[in-house]
Each structure stands twice: as C-alpha cells, then as structure tokens.
C-alpha cells in the first residue's frame, strides 16, 4: 500500500503525458462530422443550370459523392481533374453543390474546364451547406448504398485520399 501511494503521482503523470501525446498528435484541423451514418438532409434548391428545382429525391444514384465547390475556391481547381476521372467511374455518381457563388461565373467555369457533375445544386446562401456542417470549400461527402453519409472529407480530393477513405464503401 505504502509503495503504491507514493508512486501514484508518477503513474498519473505518465498516463497524462501518454494521453496528451496521443491526442495532440491528432490532426484537429479537420473536424469530425457528426453526420456520419445519418441521412442526407432535405433541401429544396434550384439546379445550377436553372432547369429545375431539386430535392433530396433527385440524388437517386446510390452510392454517390457530392462535392461542395465554387469558382472562388482555388483548391477546387486542384481536385477538378480527379473529379473528371471519377465521372467515368461506373461504380459512383458525382453530384455537386455550387456553394455561395455566382451562377453565371460557375456555368462559365464548367463550360471552359469540363463538368464532372451529373448536376450541381445551386446554394448561393449556403443553406444546404449549413445542414451538412460545411465550413469551407472544397468538401466532399460520400453517401453509401444504404443512403447514409459515410465519409466527409475537407480539402482537395486526391487519388490518395480516395484510396484511403472512399473506396472501401464502393464495390
């Protein structure tokens, strides 16, 4: 008993250092999404090309990824070639959310560089984005075959990230 009590501070200290070491190494730039394994939120917004009003039911091809993008977002241009590649992948559908942007500029950009999206939802006020917990662009969500949100990725979507985080939900 004697021994245990006098050594207790040392033990506690070691545990404290170990846990700080583990937790501080975590990358806390990236917030964990609370929406993992939740339903995609409902929305009612027009399509970017103004052709129709979209709702959750229009996102019908499961599984799919939905990419939050904008013309003012530089990193979005970095991931654009990879999204174009994914467009040709038969196992996944790519939708877009045009986030706080100008409709004409956005359409222009897609015309010039290519449109990887089956369609883009036009969200100028970021309303759907708030429901998704989005705090910047680009962000990419993967919705699995069961219709639930499986992955949330902030920052550019690269082939490496795709391999590491996304492919396990697609077959």
Partner 1 sequence: MKKLIFFLLVFISNSLYCEEGSDLYSFNNDIDYERFNSLNKELRCPKCQSSSLDGSNSPISKDLKNQVHKLILEGKTDDEIKSYLIARYGDYIVYEPRFNSTTLVLWVGPFIFLFLVLFIAFYLNMRKSKDVEVK
Binding site for partner 1 (CB under 8 A): 2, 5-6, 8-9, 12, 28-29, 31-35, 100, 125-126, 129-136
Residue 34: CB minimum distance to partner 1, A: 4
Cα–Cα nearest to 123, from 110, 134, 109 = 134
Strand partners, 94: 65
The whole-angstrom distance between residue 102's C-alpha and the CA centroid of its chain comes to 21
Instruction: Give CA–CA dist 165/148, Å, rounded.
Output: 15
CB nearer to partner 1: pick between 4 and 90: 4
Strand ranges for 86-166 from DSSP E = 93-99, 120-123, 139-143, 149-154
Tokens (6 digits) for 24: 């501080």
The whole-angstrom distance between residue 8's C-alpha and the CA centroid of its chain comes to 45
Closer CB to partner 1, 35 or 170, in the complex: 35
Looking at the Cβ atoms of 9 and 90, the one nearer to partner 1 is 9
Q: How many residues does the chain have?
A: 171
Least gap, CB of 18 to partner 1 (angstroms): 14
Give the shortest CB-118-to-partner 1 separation in angstroms: 25
State which residue, 94 or 132, has the beta carbon closest to partner 1: 132
When the beta carbons of 125 and 164 are compared against partner 1, the nearer one is 125
Kindly report the number of other CB atoms within 10 A of residue 35's CB atom. Answer: 16
| Smallest gap from residue 89 Cβ to partner 1 (A) | 29
Give the nearest distance from C-beta 159 to partner 1 in angstroms.
Answer: 26
Name the token pair of 89. 């992948």
């Amino acid at each position: 008993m004697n021994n245990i009590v006098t050594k207790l501070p040392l033990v506690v200290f070691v545990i404290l250092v170990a846990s700080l070491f583990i937790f501080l190494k975590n990358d806390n730039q990236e917030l964990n999404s609370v929406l993992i394994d939740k339903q995609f939120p409902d929305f009612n917004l027009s399509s970017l090309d103004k052709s129709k009003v979209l709702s959750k039911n229009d996102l019908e091809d499961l599984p799919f990824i939905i990419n939050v993008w904008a013309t003012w977002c530089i990193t979005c241009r970095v991931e654009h070639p990879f999204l174009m590649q994914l467009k040709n992948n038969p196992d996944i559908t790519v939708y877009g959310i045009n986030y706080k942007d100008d409709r004409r500029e956005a359409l222009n950009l897609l015309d010039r560089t290519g449109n990887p999206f089956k369609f883009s939802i036009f969200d100028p006020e970021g309303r759907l984005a708030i429901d998704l917990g989005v705090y910047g662009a680009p962000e990419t969500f993967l919705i699995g075959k069961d219709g639930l949100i499986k992955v949330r990725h902030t920052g550019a979507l690269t082939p490496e990230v795709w391999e590491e985080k996304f492919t396990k939900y697609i077959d």
